[in-house]
Amino acid sequence: MSKARLFVLALGPPLIVGAVYLASFPSAPSGAEALASRLSQIESHAARARRAARDELTGACELAAGEVLRSLPSNCAAVVHSPFVLAGDLSAAELERLHREAVAPIAEAFWRAFFDNRPDRPVTIVVLSNEGSYETVAANLDGYEPSAYAGYTQRNERRIVLNLATGRGTLAHELCHVLALFDFPDMPEWFDEGLAALHEEADFSEDGLLLVGRSNWRSRIVREALGQNRLTALEEVIRAPEFRGEGEGINYALVRGFCHYLQTRGLLSHFYRKFHAAANDDPTGVATLCELLRQPHIRKLDADFRAWLARGE
């Protein structure tokens, strides 16, 4: 027998048995398979973390609901739809409807167009059905006499209080304020109030995804001020250390009109995001506005804005 044949007969059976044994185990994963497995593990971990965060926020909302009910008249109810707590002198069914028809779609529109960071703490919305209840609750909750306003936001408490009898525009206005706190807490007051005021009179787009501001009583005020040569320069309002005080009504109308002007040009959402990103270097937003609209100075931009107002668009 040749040496080669002897070698095959001696080693062949062990090699075959070894091959069969190895084949009974799955092969080591390829690089792509290992990466896919790792990514799946990461996503599973992230999903669990998100569920835990939602559960924690829901628990915090339930605690907030109980807390606010203790401060409201006995005829009040509360419902929880994390991150929102709705409470007031409406029935639970009416509060559920308000959340479904107004709070949820308005909030989603704001998150879609502007705010990337959603609330990680409860947002309480106290809704009163008439002026008398509104004034009583405002006084009891906050020691507040809201004679000039149909609603207000307590920023430190992340709480809105409003008189629903005036319509749902106040809800959109105040909801814009409180949601902005979680995304752009250092937003200057001129833009914060302009953005919120724009949405107090707004319709949903045809696809229901966005809110589109339209003319309202503030539009009349700003155009009358322009026609009477009483309209403050845009730069002066933006750079002023105080937004409120003398001329506050015209200031509100001016910044709302300017946000409407940006929206009609398809630039409001773009400005918000660019301004948010550049706020450390451009705290007033003037440089970002000039860059976005390709204007050498805010005065040129103001002139274009005033021409838009004069056209009544």
Per-residue pLDDT of 193-229, as tens digits, reads 999 999 999 999 999 999 999 999 999 999 999 999 9
Give the distance from CA 266 to its chain's centroid: 18
Q: CATH classification of 60-183, choosing from 1.10.510.10, 3.40.50.920, 3.30.200.100, 3.40.30.160?
A: 3.40.30.160
Flag whether pLDDT at 35 surpasses 50. yes
The string of DSSP codes covering 177-222 is HHHHHHH-TT--HHHHHHHHHHTTSEEE-TTSS-EEE---HHHHHH
How is the chain split into domains, by residue range? Answer: 60-183, 186-313
Residue 9 has pLDDT above 50, yes or no: no
Q: What is the pLDDT of residue 15?
A: 46
Task: Describe the strand order of the beta sheet including 77-81 as a list of residue ranges.
Answer: 77-81, 84-88, 123-128, 159-163, 151-154
Higher pLDDT, 77 or 312: 77
What rounded mean pLDDT belongs to the chain? 88
Percent of the chain past pLDDT 90, that is, above it, reads 76
pLDDT for the residue 48: 63
Mean pLDDT of 41-51: 63
Instruction: Provide the pLDDT for residue 85.
Output: 98
For the segment 228-243, the average pLDDT, to the nearest whole number, is 92
Query: What number is the average pLDDT over the span 234-252?
Result: 88
At CA 283, angle to CA 301 and CA 170, rounded to 5?
A: 80
